[in-house]
Amino acid sequence: MSELSDEEQQIVELVARWVDDEVRPVVNELEHADRYPASLIDQMKQMGVYGLAIPEPYGDFAVSARCYARVTEEISRGWMSLAGAFGGHSVVSKLLLRFGTDEQQQRYLPRMATGELRATMALTEPDGGSDLQAMRTVAMPTSTGYVINGSKTWITNARMSGLVALLCKTDPTAEPRHRGVSILLIERDNPGFTVSRDLPKLGYKGVESCELHFDDCHVAADALLGGAEGHGFAQMMTGLETGRIQVAGRAIGVARAAFDDALRYAQDRHTFGKPIWQHQSVGNLLADMATQITAAQQLNYHAADCIDSGRRADMEAGMAKLFCSEMAAKVTLDAIRIHGGHGYSTEFDVERYYRDAPLMIVGEGTNEVLRNVIVKQAIGRNGLS
């Protein structure tokens, strides 16, 4: 099992202190107003959060996947929306580092490392959901590049990002379908590319999730990630290993916050002459919550260690995202149970955790789809295919 370096441990501790000092005192006001947290985002840039996945010579210091998971946990412990503000950005960073041309890396990564340029990825379509190979967004080749038509939805940070990694079809007739899929790097001011409405959400407030439209959007040939068509599906699946570890880290952070609040409340609240944690029904809930959070952390750290060692991690990252997200949904509901009527009040944070948790179940690939990924990998790796 990998451990954090001294420098990485200091980064995690710095972020944890920032969450306690700067995020938690203001999160309720920002969240309930659904207000964009501009000041907190700027502070994240100053701390180097947007460059965590970008090494020299483009950035100052790239951390391990395990450290990245830990930082995500701490930020989500304060406000899950803030982790969403750099999740897709990190996936695009990884895509550029692994698959980008020299020109693409030099053009984007130095500004992405500082947060001057923010990036997001665009996968989901209004009628497609997790069936990415059935996408209808098409980029037809021209003499100078591509002309794109189609729509994407539920794209986080779309309005604030200057770069979008667009998954689309460059050969709609290809068989199998994934061989016709590519990634194009679209800049915000590109004609024909518009960000329309912000979608209303149950939770995940503060940061925007938008619809994107491409109407005869022309891009140059050098917008093609890596310079070769037909590799976009495999490229994005590799990037999503990091994305799913990040989503799992978000789930753990939300669950930790819910557990901390429930544990504190169970010590302060007295009924029948004793603190409620001493009632077996409440104590059992707390014991299960602590156990599930610890198990989730170890599963996510294992997936991160697989990435750090260069091993294939699609099954491990899928397992971590699946388990951690389902765990967070249960832990946040149990935190409300422990708070009783107070848990249903917007004056307490646990109702926010409960509203935020479902995002991790349906985001970055639904858990139903991930179960398919896991079982296929389990069969394939055991030589049973």
What the block records as the tokens of 124 is 């989901």
Cβ-based neighbour number of residue 383 at 10 Å? 6
Report which of 19, 4, 156 is spatially closest to residue 70, judged by C-alpha positions: 4
Half-sphere exposure of 301 (CA within 13 A, CB side): 14
**Annotated catalytic residue 3:** no
Q: In angstroms, rounded to a whole number, what is the distance separating the alpha carbons of residues 365 and 114? A: 28
Q: How much helix, strand and coil, in percent to the nearest 5, is found in the chain?
A: 60, 15, 25
- Dig out the tokens for 21 from the structure: 């000092």
Cα separation values, 190 from 156, 164, 198, 203, 215, Å: 19, 11, 20, 31, 11
User: CA 245, CA 141: separation in Å to the nearest integer?
Assistant: 35
Catalytic entry in 7, 211, 364, 368: 364
Residues 190, 192, 196, 199, CA torsion sign: negative
Q: Which two three-digit tokens encode residue 384? A: 């049973």
* Whole-number CA gyration radius for the chain: 21
Catalytic residues, by residue number, are 364
